[in-house]
Structures are given as C-alpha cells and as structure tokens.
Amino acid sequence: MSANGPRVLVVPQVGWAAAVAAELAARLVERPSLRVCLPTGGTPTPVYAALAKAVRAGRCSLAAATVVLLDEWVGLAPGDPARCDVRLQGELLDHLETPPAFVRIGVDAADLAAAVARHDAAAAGLDLAVVGLGMNGHIGFNEPGSSPSGATRVVALQPVTITAATAQYGARSAPSGGVTVGFARLLAAQEVWLLVTGERKAAVLRQALEGPEDAACPASLLRRHPRLTVFADEAAAAQLRGI
C-alpha cells in the first residue's frame, strides 16, 4: 500500500494466527492494562488459541487488561452457543488462569437502550480495536450503509448475517437483531487491526483497501484511521494490487 495507507502484513496461512497472536502479545507486554475490543467469528478463533498458548508460556498476560466485546446478537438466550460472549469466553477467556476484565453487551437487560449506552461508554478510549471482515464488507454488525460517525447501537441485520448465526454458529433460534460498537468508537481507538483470511474474502478485501471509500463497503471506512494494520493470509491478499 502507499506510504500513507494501511500497513498490510501478508503471512502464509500456516503461520498467520501465530503471527497475529505474537503482535497482540507484544502489545500486552508494552501495555499490560491494554483496553482492547475483540470480535468473534471463524477468523479470530485460531488467534485466540495461539494467544492463550502464549499466556500459558508466560510470554504475556491479560490479567490487567480489559476486553470489550465488539458485538452481540439480540434475541438469543443467555448461554446460546452462537452468542458472542459465549464464544469469546470459550475460545479465549476460559483458557486463562487470570482472565481480563470482560465487558459484555447487556442485550438481556430490561432497558436495552440504557445497556447500549453503557457499552458505548465502555468502548471509549480503546487502545486497540481488532475486527474481522464480513463477506458484504461489514465490520462487527456495522452493515452496509453504516456511518463513520455511527455510535454503538442496535441494528437490523441483513438476511445473510442472520443466516450465519444458525448455519455457522449453531444458534438455537434466529436472532432478531444485533448490537455493535460503531465506527465512531472504532476510529477513535489508538490502533485498528483488520483480520482477514481465505480466498473467499479476497474480493471484498480488495474493495475495502483499493476501491472507493464508500459506506456500501463499511470496511473501506477503516482507511480513515492513521494506524490501521491489516493482517491477511496469502489467499485473502491475492487480489491486492498495491502490495
């Protein structure tokens, strides 16, 4: 990419998760009290396994860190296997002897609006926001059409996103919506990392990094951030021209 554009790191698939985990471990060593927003989904799963291994080996610790959940389904019962809090707990936090403070999204609260406002406040002042890339360019549940100034909010989900809850993550019922940290908080973080793997993400990654900045591809809005790092494996980066 250009000197003023995102930092794009392309790593072979076999070592991709370990490379991302090593970078995250280094941030934790530099700043043990790291405030980090983390996603769930298939892409970060191996990163969390590698990070937990690094913690057990004594290379870093999350004990003093704060993890803020990026998004959550609305309408799934507590404990549903597709819930983002359940997935992050099972993939990372339960594997740590001393887990970090974990800020869930209060989708089960009687006053959902108040819970969303609390999460928006919790997402202020992030040191690092880690996000994945959806097939339609979404970031968290910031679906196409999202504003770069969007707050943490309840959102209506596109059918393909709702289908993923049951088809990919085993939800016991279809979610009725989602809550997501908005671009206003993500773009205000000290750093943003975009994690992308697989050939099927190659076209949308090219659109996000080399197409026009357009809310139709929400990931393209991340290019506004002065410290955006993209961690891509070779298959996901195959269509990029500028690297």
Q: Taking each helix axis as running N to C, give the angle between helix 84-91 and helix 45-56, from 0 to 180 degrees, rounded to the nearest 10.
A: 40
User: Does 138 participate in catalysis according to the annotation?
Assistant: yes
Q: Which of 72, 80, 85, 143 is catalytic?
A: 143
- The domains located in the chain, with CATH, are 7-233 (3.40.50.1360)
Q: How far apart are CA 23 and CA 212, in angstroms?
A: 29
Tokens describing residue 175: 């979610």
Residue 122 CA, distance from chain mean position: 16
Q: Each residue's pLDDT tens digit in the chain (243 positions)?
A: 545 789 999 999 999 999 999 999 999 999 999 999 999 999 999 999 999 999 999 999 999 999 999 999 999 999 999 999 999 999 999 999 999 999 999 999 999 999 999 999 999 999 999 999 999 999 999 999 999 999 999 999 888 888 888 888 889 999 999 999 999 999 999 999 999 999 999 999 999 999 999 999 999 999 999 999 999 999 999 999 977
Q: Which of 127, 136, 214, 234 is catalytic?
A: 136
Closest alpha carbon to 193 in 53, 89, 51, 97: 51
What is the sign of the dihedral through the CA atoms of 139, 186, 70 and 115? negative
User: Does 72 participate in catalysis according to the annotation?
Assistant: no
Q: Which of 71, 72, 80, 85 is catalytic?
A: 71
Q: What is the DSSP string of 157-187?
A: PPHHHHHHHHHTT--SS---EEEE--HHHHH
User: Does 136 participate in catalysis according to the annotation?
Assistant: yes
Q: Which of 80, 91, 119, 138 is catalytic?
A: 138
- Residue at 134: amino acid letter: G
